[in-house]
Amino acid sequence: MLKKLISSFFFIKWRYLFKGSVVIVKRDGKLNVGKRCSITGCIIQVSPTCSLSIAEDTVIKKCRLSVINKNSSLQIGKHNSITHSQIVVSGRLYIGDENILDKGYSYRNYSIRADGDIFIGNRNRLRGRIWLRYGGNLKIGDYNNINEDSEIRCDESITIGSYNQISYECMIWDTNTHCIYPAKERRALAESKYPSLGFEYERPKTKAVSIGDDCWIGKRVTILKGSVIGNRCIIGYGTTISNQTIPDNKTVTEQKTLKFYDNQI
């Protein structure tokens, strides 16, 4: 009778906590949830030897959280609001306190795919997409705003400081995203991996990207591999920066000079 009462108690407790959710924690996986959390309409998956930790007073709604690779971990701090998000971790992801992760007005859910290490500080509002591959390393400080349809692609290292305003549809990439193979090799890959067109099996060319503190990044700005942006910089609408260093306290606007190179394919 006592065993039955204890089982009923835990069933009621977890049913309330994970209202309308599907939770799968496989053997040797770990799930820890703090006090006064609210988790509604979510799909949560923790694979063997992986861990998911959610600190107190965090709200997670209509999300998919998957920690899927051996010894991977997702740690979510206190007082976070995470809604309409898809987070897949096959590395390590740390989210600090009092962050807001959501899709905003975009029709696409906010997404993080972490095949590497991500550190997100405190009191950020993040929308758009983060995609790490090949063991990349991404660090985002405190009080940053990254708006809808912006994208961070990291295969090596990207550092974003604190108190930055990053507008809509901005691209921050430290990678070419694809290797440039001879046409014959690319065709062979396309045929052998179809329908996974554009399949990659090795990391393309990369170079670290760094953005300082207190910067304004305008709409549709593109920041490509090797770029270093100092503190208190303004990057104007539609500007592309590639493998350049911008000193502190500078304003950069679009340059219309086009450069052409012979293909090496």
Three state DSSP letters for the chain: CHHHHHHHHHHHHHHHHEECCEEEECCCCEEEECCCCEEECCEEEECCCCEEEECCCCEEECCEEEECCCCCEEEECCCCEEECEEEEECCEEEECCCCEECCCCCCCCEEEEEEEEEEECCCCEECCEEEEEEEEEEEECCCCEECCCCEEEECCEEEECCCCEECCCCEEECECCCCCCCHHHHHHHHHHHCCCCCCCCCCCCECCEEECCCCEECCCCEEECCCEECCCCEECCCCEEECCEECCCCEECCCCCCCCCCCCC
- Please report which confidence band the pLDDT of residue 198 belongs to, taking 50, 70 and 90 as the band edges: confident
Which pair of tokens denotes residue 66?
Answer: 């998957």
Please write the tens of the pLDDT for every residue from 68-109. 988 999 999 999 999 999 999 999 999 999 999 999 998 889
pLDDT at 38: 93
In degrees and rounded to multiples of 5, residue 8 shows phi and psi of: -65, -40
Q: What is the mean pLDDT of residues 159-169?
A: 98
Distance, in Å, from the CA atom of 260 to the CA atom of 205, rounded to the nearest integer, reads 19
CA dihedral 53, 57, 58, 62 (to 10 degrees): 120
Distance, in Å, from the CA atom of 249 to the CA atom of 265, rounded to the nearest integer, reads 40
Tell me the percentage of the chain whose pLDDT exceeds 90.
78
Decide if pLDDT at 3 tops 50. no
- Please report which confidence band the pLDDT of residue 262 belongs to, taking 50, 70 and 90 as the band edges: low
Decide if pLDDT at 173 tops 90. yes
Least reliable range by pLDDT among 60-74, 109-123, 183-197, 203-217:
183-197
Please write the tens of the pLDDT for every residue from 229-247. 999 999 999 999 999 999 9
Tell me the C-alpha to C-alpha distance, in Å, between residue 117 and each of 30, 140, 200.
19, 11, 20
Its pTM surpasses 0.85: yes
Tell me the C-alpha to C-alpha distance, in Å, between residue 231 and each of 144, 146, 170, 251, 252.
14, 17, 18, 11, 13
- Please report which confidence band the pLDDT of residue 197 belongs to, taking 50, 70 and 90 as the band edges: confident
Q: What number of CA atoms fall less than 13 Å from residue 251's CA on the CB side?
A: 3
pLDDT at 255: 60
Distance, in Å, from the CA atom of 113 to the CA atom of 85, rounded to the nearest integer, reads 11
Please write the tens of the pLDDT for every residue from 12-69. 445 557 788 999 999 999 999 999 999 999 999 999 999 999 999 999 999 999 999 8
pLDDT at 200: 83
Cis peptide before 204 (omega within 30 of 0): no
**What is the average pLDDT value for the chain, to the nearest integer?**
90
